[in-house]
Amino acid sequence: MCGIVAYIGPKPALPIVISGLKRLESRGYDSAGVAIIESNGNNPDTLVLRKIKGKVSNLIEHIGEEELKGTVAIGHTRWATHGPPNDINAHPHRASSDRIALIHNGIIENYSTIKKTLHNRGHALLSDTDSEVLVHLIEEVMISGKMSLGNAVRVALKQVTGAYAIVIIDRENPTTLIAARKSSPLVIGLGEDGAYYVASDATPIIPYTKNVVYLNDEEIATLDLDKGLKIRTVSNKTVIPEIQALEIEIESIEKGGYDHFMLKEIFEQPKSIRDSLRGRIDLKKGEVRMSGVDDHWDKWNNASRIIILACGTSWHAGLVAEYLFEEFARIPVEVEYASEFRYRNPIIRKDDLVIAISQSGETADSLAAIKTAKDAGAHVFGVCNVVGSSISRESHSGAYTRAGPEIGVASTKAFTSQIAVLTMIALHVGVKKGKLPRERFLRLISELNGIPELVTKVLKQAELIDSIAAEFTESINALYLGRGYQFPVALEGALKLKEISYIHAEGYPAAEMKHGPIALIDEKLPVVFIAPKDDVYEKVLSNIQEVKARGGRLVVVVTEGDKEAASLADYVIEVPRCDASLAPLLTSIPLQLLSYKIAVLRGCNVDQPRNLAKSVTVE
């Protein structure tokens, strides 16, 4: 995943592009660069590139006091896919004639074939990247075909297989930007002063305008200060731009006084869950409103199976949904890692209903898995957090999680918002299919509606959790155990810890301990049990006793007032009592805080953990 920003308009371009790159750094941060067209009075304009390995801060230092003037620029912050992070592989890339420069997010799958052809035509490519091939191909087509840049981009992209979000500037046409996308996101902002902004998502655009156009796959936009915005497809069809008004505010992407975006997002969960529920639970009428479900009710009513496709934390939300749909709607559910599903030649039936879960809506494996399911005739329902994202637009129907921008690489509020939305859908489908008794439905939607206030209560234990975290900063392993609805929470707690503190952690069904992991137990190993009062509580209690008998260091998340489990624990965290099906919305919070604090105490980069990016748009 990389971050792309571009500007063309009346103002100096560099500061706009640089501040935009900072807002996108969570998408990739192993190298960064800018290209700007400098006007030189009566002499030809010059195309200036500055790029370097490392973060945007390195780029800023590298540019230093140099006065890079110019009102059209492109910028890029990279997460390496082809070629190691270094200055040469950093974007932008220019072609041989030094006339055009390009930034790219995605993967050009046939780049080595194209590279050979370009070599044979005398192009000297300097980097190991697939992106540089693209800029040389465009130049080759433009010069040999005597075409405009816009047409050359279109003809060149017809030769390309793979994913791209690109922006190109042309020294000989300094009033024009060209942008195009396929399977990687690109948003265009329309400034009141006639300026145009292009970015991988809306966050760099928000400070300047709320009017945006989301480019769709295989669309090429020409942003011309004189002629305006024009969009054509790679197959040369005209597209009328659909201007949308952005609803996210600039402050929503600042840290808001917290040390890290992740902590801000953990504490935003009462609000983000409330926003996910808003307008969808009607206690007066006793109903859940989910138009994305009702508009395709036949697909849900006739579904013989639900297949859930996701990755990472979203996959854990999918596991919670498996328990929800099987309990309330009595529909068999299979939860699949999208990366496995897409290559396994899966059996997909026309009456399968697929739920795709993705915070970013851009995860390459999830997007590809959806296409596999759609090709087989399944109905795809998307649960995404980013409006206008590829997965949301690839799905037949869906529901947004409305958690707001999630900047921290470790997903927190998106996870609980995914669960809130999936819970509403499972309850709605269950009662509508007559599988869930109405009086239980009414009780559950009322309790769900009250969850944000209970989350606020859980967050009040942050200091206690900080003190527990201090006990485990030197740990090298950890075990997370839970049963039933708490098994996915155990997996999620373990993922949180390992991805931001770099401590190895494993989540397991508590009963599985006897089948191997119990050999790991010793006085050094932290064992986190999630043990709220539910139907399997007594069984979990026995598992806790087994660990205690072997000297494990026990952190136990219990229902408030539960003295029995607490008496066995070294450290106790209480959560308010609630229905077992809603408990993941509460029990996952302490595990987020625990991993956050351990990571901070270990001096880890919490918002941008090593090797990770916020959205994995490459395989």
CB-CB neighbours of 460 under 10 Å: 8
Q: Which is nearer to ligand AGP, 336 or 562 (CB)?
A: 336
358 forms part of the interface with ligand AGP (CB under 6 A): yes
Q: Which is nearer to ligand AGP, 398 or 576 (CB)?
A: 398
User: Smallest gap, in angstroms, from Cβ of residue 415 to ligand AGP?
Assistant: 8
User: Smallest gap, in angstroms, from Cβ of residue 66 to ligand AGP?
Assistant: 36
What ranges in 433-554 are assigned the alpha helix state H? Answer: 438-449, 451-459, 462-469, 486-501, 537-549
Q: Map tokens 């995914």 to a residue.
A: 418
| Residue from 363, 395, 475, 587 binding ligand AGP (CB under 6 A) | 363
Interacting span for ligand AGP (CB under 6 A) from 305-313, 442-450, 478-486, 508-516: 305-313
| Residue from 190, 290, 544, 616 binding ligand AGP (CB under 6 A) | 616
314 forms part of the interface with ligand AGP (CB under 6 A): yes
Report how far residue 414's alpha carbon sits from residue 420's, in angstroms, rounded to the nearest whole number: 10
| Residue from 591, 615, 617, 618 binding ligand AGP (CB under 6 A) | 615
Question: 3-state SS of 163-232?
Answer: EEEEEEEECCCCCEEEEEEEECCCEEEECCCCCEEEECCCCCCCCCCCEEEECCCCEEEEEECCCEEEEE
- Residue nearest ligand AGP (C-beta atom): 312
| 555-588 as b/e: b if 16+ CB within 10 A | bbbbbbebeebbebbebbbbbbebebbbbbbbbb
User: Smallest gap, in angstroms, from Cβ of residue 459 to ligand AGP?
Assistant: 19
**Going edge to edge, which strands form the sheet with 477-482?**
504-509, 477-482, 526-531, 553-559, 571-575
Contact 27, 77 (CB under 8 A): yes
Interacting span for ligand AGP (CB under 6 A) from 255-263, 309-317, 397-405, 592-600: 309-317
User: Do the bridges between strand 3-8 and strand 72-78 make them parallel or antiparallel, or are there none, so unpaired?
Assistant: antiparallel
| Residue from 410, 420, 527, 530 binding ligand AGP (CB under 6 A) | 410
Provide φ and ψ at 354, rounded to 5°: -105, 130
CB-CB neighbours of 257 under 10 Å: 7
Q: Which residues are part of the catalytic machinery?
A: 2, 614
Long-range contacts of 369-372 (CB under 8 A, 24+ apart): 369/309, 369/336, 369/338, 369/339, 369/341, 369/342, 370/309, 370/338, 370/394, 370/395, 372/341, 372/342, 372/346, 372/348
Size of site (CB under 6 A) for ligand AGP? 15
Report how far residue 60's alpha carbon sits from residue 50's, in angstroms, rounded to the nearest whole number: 10
417 forms part of the interface with ligand AGP (CB under 6 A): no
Interacting span for ligand AGP (CB under 6 A) from 21-29, 294-302, 357-365, 511-519: 357-365
Q: Which is nearer to ligand AGP, 489 or 572 (CB)?
A: 489
| Residue from 150, 312, 318, 532 binding ligand AGP (CB under 6 A) | 312
Report how far residue 597's alpha carbon sits from residue 573's, in angstroms, rounded to the nearest whole number: 15
Interacting span for ligand AGP (CB under 6 A) from 108-116, 160-168, 307-315, 322-330: 307-315
Q: Which is nearer to ligand AGP, 502 or 520 (CB)?
A: 502
User: Smallest gap, in angstroms, from Cβ of residue 410 to ligand AGP?
Assistant: 4
| Residue from 71, 105, 339, 360 binding ligand AGP (CB under 6 A) | 360
430 forms part of the interface with ligand AGP (CB under 6 A): no
CB-CB neighbours of 122 under 10 Å: 8
6 forms part of the interface with ligand AGP (CB under 6 A): no
372 forms part of the interface with ligand AGP (CB under 6 A): no
491 forms part of the interface with ligand AGP (CB under 6 A): no
Q: Which is nearer to ligand AGP, 312 or 507 (CB)?
A: 312
CA distances (Å), 352 to each of 358, 384, 578, in order?
Answer: 19, 20, 32
Interacting span for ligand AGP (CB under 6 A) from 25-33, 58-66, 156-164, 355-363: 355-363
359 forms part of the interface with ligand AGP (CB under 6 A): yes
The residue ranges that bind ligand AGP (CB under 6 A) are: 311-314, 358-360, 363, 366, 409-411, 499, 615-616
